[in-house]
Amino acid sequence: MKYMAYSLSFKENALTSVRILSTHKAWKPWGMRITNPISKSGFFWLPSTPDHKIPGEITISNGGKVEIETIGHFRNSPTQLAQILAGNHDGEARIHGHVQEFGDVTVDDCIYTNQTLSTLGGTTLSARNAYLGALISEKEPPLFDSVDFSFDGLNEWARQTSLSQSRSEDRNEISITYKKPENIDLRIGEGVSLHIIYDYSSSGSPGTRTLKSTTSLRLSFEEATNIEEAIRLIHRIQNFFSFAMDETTHLLQINGTHEKYIIQHANNRETLKPIKIFYHGAYDPGTESPSILAPSMLFHLRLVKETLEKNLTEWLRYYEVITPTLNLYFSQKSGAYRFLNGRFLALAQAIETLHRNTSNEKFMDEAAFKDIRRQIITGCPEAFRGRLSPMLIHGNELSLKERLERVIDPHSKYFGGNENVETLIKMIKDNRNYLTHYDRALENKLLDGPKLYAVCLKIEAILQIKFMELIGFEESLLDQIIERSHAIANKLRPTLTDS
């Protein structure tokens, strides 16, 4: 199935065509937030030697970290053990197991982290992915027809109804009502759909009753899809919701289904068996989920319900093009830059890169520039041509100031008018140039902490406005969001004065 990356062509600064490609580059997204670690005992074996089972324990902890610790060795011949000890065999592509509660287990991309070569010696391995509930054969890729997942803040973002309460006239009877919303189905690409699934649970005692509504997302594929591609798509969708919530979110759970994994019930009834999926991400998600409420979001479902399919489709369509900008945007949102100067430089680079990757505008006609470049190099003393020529390679690119003007000027009304925009652009340009080149001539232009922080917030607001524009938000909706959303209003509020 091919839908994960996009090759784009530009014409008159507009996206005109999309060619869908497949990508399989090694990558690692944020780790999963696992607040209740899993630790289950059982037996493990290599798919090639199913009769050689050894006891052990699988542990899955926060971040999706998967470890297997065994008593005994998967490869117990003297030659095999010697190879492992010498570092000539550093891992196993796949391990099978059967453990408490979950039954069958498949663990992929395992690396030996500890070996004890003794009679009662054992092995410790760290793994990339784990599938609880399935035995995936030795050379078969992990394929799924659908994948369910959820992450921080999703319940609040997708909330459509709340509990309602009514009393009888004599106030002796009270009724609490909850109506489950209809699920939402979105076609987001060729052969792939996203579903917003609403559910609820009820529990309690004769004197107490608790009703909890839950929301999850489901990706369904017309063709069974490799989990690596599915996780890549999940990560991009997750980033859409992180952007919408103005908060870094982390995956809480992933469950996959495939027609080959079924549960047999009485009366020959069969249902699909959900396979719990875990992956070891590159970054620690922390153990505390953020408190995310609708007023602090950039936008929520109730604002974009009618256009959500289009917005998500456009987000995925543009994702490959604006990935460098998104990486910088989300890294500063997650607190990756401990110092304000670093955050500012990331944001300044993000806005410059966004314009460069979504516009083919040049300073002048390319043919005319090449002719001028040739004349300059020809007129330069031969001894200096080698130094001058590389300096002119990017001479036809727009300057940072020009790119900032192209991005910000169309939205000047949100930043207090043209005069304030000019001040903001000058502050960004001077501070970026000083912090990049440490030009002493600009040292007196360096902003102090509070003012630099205010500029960072405004650049972040610019990026958010441009992202919303790219994914199809009309100006009227932008006006509504900027008027009502605390997330962006607080970034636009501070007034900058050039000093």
| 19 CB-near residues (< 8 Å, 6+ apart) | 6, 7, 8
Least confident of 80-84, 133-137, 261-265: 80-84
The secondary structure of residue 288, as a DSSP letter, is: P
Cα 169–Cα 162–Cα 184 angle in degrees, nearest 5: 140
Could you report the per-residue pLDDT of 307-323, keeping only the tens digit for each? 999 999 999 999 999 99
Indicate the burial class of 295 (C-beta count within 10 angstroms; 0-12, 13-18, 19 or more): exposed
Q: Are 288 and 324 in contact (CB under 8 A)?
A: no
The pLDDT of residue 133: 97
The secondary structure of residue 35, as a DSSP letter, is: S
Least confident of 186-195, 300-309, 313-322, 487-496: 487-496
Both tokens of residue 335? 């607190």
The pLDDT of residue 461: 96
Type of residue numbered 143:
L
Least confident of 62-66, 152-156, 261-265: 261-265
Both tokens of residue 409? 């000027």
Q: Are 45 and 55 in contact (CB under 8 A)?
A: no
pLDDT tier, 30 (very low <50, low <70, confident <90, very high otherwise): confident
Indicate the burial class of 417 (C-beta count within 10 angstroms; 0-12, 13-18, 19 or more): exposed
For residue 5, pLDDT over 80 is answered with: no
Type of residue numbered 4:
M
What pTM did the predictor assign? 0.87
Higher pLDDT, 203 or 1: 203
CA distances, 224 to each of 141, 144, 145, 227, 233 (Å) = 10, 5, 5, 9, 14
Percent of the chain with pLDDT over 70: 90
Q: Which of 60, 64, 89 is nearest to 74 (CA)?
A: 89
Could you report the per-residue pLDDT of 454-482, keeping only the tens digit for each? 999 999 999 999 999 999 999 999 999 99
pLDDT tier, 23 (very low <50, low <70, confident <90, very high otherwise): very low
Average pLDDT on 440-445 reads 82
CA distances, 95 to each of 26, 211, 278 (Å) = 21, 41, 15
For residue 118, pLDDT over 80 is answered with: no
Q: Which of 1, 7, 10, 85 is nearest to 355 (CA)?
A: 10
For residue 24, pLDDT over 50 is answered with: no
The pLDDT of residue 12: 36
The rounded distance, in Å, linking the Cα atoms of 267 and 270 is 9
Q: Which of 152, 111, 104, 109 is nearest to 131 (CA)?
A: 104
What is the helix (H) or strand (E) element at residue 369, kind and residue range?
helix 366-379
Higher pLDDT, 81 or 294: 294
Higher pLDDT, 494 or 328: 328
The pLDDT of residue 119: 55
For residue 136, pLDDT over 80 is answered with: yes
The pLDDT of residue 25: 40
Q: Which of 375, 355, 466, 339 is nearest to 414 (CA)?
A: 466
The pLDDT of residue 2: 36
| 484 CB-near residues (< 8 Å, 6+ apart) | none
The rounded distance, in Å, linking the Cα atoms of 476 and 469 is 11
Average pLDDT on 341-361 reads 94
Average pLDDT on 338-361 reads 93
pLDDT tier, 125 (very low <50, low <70, confident <90, very high otherwise): very high
The rounded distance, in Å, linking the Cα atoms of 467 and 246 is 12
b vs e for 142-161, b when ≥16 Cβ sit within 10 Å of the residue's Cβ? bbbbbbbbbbbbbebbbbbe
Average pLDDT on 436-440 reads 84
Indicate the burial class of 412 (C-beta count within 10 angstroms; 0-12, 13-18, 19 or more): middle
Indicate the burial class of 30 (C-beta count within 10 angstroms; 0-12, 13-18, 19 or more): buried
- Most confidently predicted of 69-73, 112-116, 202-206: 69-73
Query: 217 forms bridges with which residues in the sheet?
Result: 149, 196
Cα 132–Cα 123–Cα 111 angle in degrees, nearest 5: 65
The pLDDT of residue 81: 61
Could you report the per-residue pLDDT of 219-232, keeping only the tens digit for each? 999 999 999 999 99
- Provide the mean pLDDT of the chain: 87
Residue by residue, DSSP assigns 47-96 as TT-TT--EEEEEEEETTTEEEEEEES-SS-SHHHHHHHHTTS--EEEEEE
Both tokens of residue 153? 């803040």
Least confident of 86-95, 275-284, 351-360: 86-95
3-state SS assignment for residue 224:
strand
The secondary structure of residue 393, as a DSSP letter, is: T
Percent of the chain with pLDDT over 90: 58
pLDDT tier, 86 (very low <50, low <70, confident <90, very high otherwise): low
The rounded distance, in Å, linking the Cα atoms of 426 and 445 is 10
